[in-house]
Structure 1
Amino acid sequence: MPHTFEPAVIEAVLAHMNDDHTDDALVIVRAFGQPDAESATMTGLDGDAGTFAAVVGGVATEVRVPWSEPITERPQIRREVVALHDRACAALGLEPRQH
């Protein structure tokens, strides 16, 4: 069973991602599940993966993207999201932005 983070931690991460990094979420979703996604927002996370809501052809779909390894601590979330973004950029042939 994956580690479950406190609701306040999840809410803070989702707010940050969806307020400041919507382009990053779209890159991640396009690289790891829905290459034709039109938009994406992060909707959840646990110790095994991040979960995103993508819109593809006008239809909402869930995309769950595993971390590079299981995590249990809040600081690991940022590390894993950055790693996901960097891997997504590499997969799509994009230049990753500075973190």
Structure 2
Amino acid sequence: MQSFPPEVVDAVLRHMNSDHTDDNLVIVRANGAPDAAAATMTALDADGGVWSVSTADSATAIELRIPWTIPVAERADIRKAVVLLYRSACRTLGIEPRSE
């Protein structure tokens, strides 16, 4: 498992959790947490991303690891992998993806 430098991980997490909060929710709902009320991306590496997920009826958050669907070796690959997860999640949930 390849990791990325802390500054790369921090930048991606900051971006996902400030600019893509709704996307985080779509991704986790389609990948194992259908009742999610909130989701925050907390970690990532070359194998996948990790989200902290909470539901309306639980005070305790769960950790959900979702593997990337493409190889991720460089920083630019992370964006592609997240976009693919989001689009796949939209298809799974039957919702229209937002335009980029």
Q: TM-score, normalised by structure 2?
A: 0.94
Q: Give the match for residue 64 of structure 1.
A: 65
Query: Structure 1 stretches (4+) deviating beyond 4 angstroms?
Result: none
Q: Give the match for residue 33 of structure 1.
A: 32
Q: Give the match for residue 76 of structure 1.
A: 77
Give percent identity, aligned residues only.
53
Gaps of 5+ in 1: none
Measured against aligned partners, the alpha-carbon deviations of 1:43-99 in whole angstroms (never above 9, x if no partner) come to 000001010000022220001111012311000000000000000000000001112
**Alignment coverage as a number of residue pairs:** 98
CA positional deviation for 1:21: 0.3
Counterpart Cα distance in 1 of 2:71 and 2:51: 18
Counterpart Cα distance in 1 of 2:82 and 2:70: 12
| Further displaced range: 79-88 or 62-71 | 62-71
Counterpart Cα distance in 2 of 1:3 and 1:98: 31
Counterpart Cα distance in 2 of 1:70 and 1:50: 13
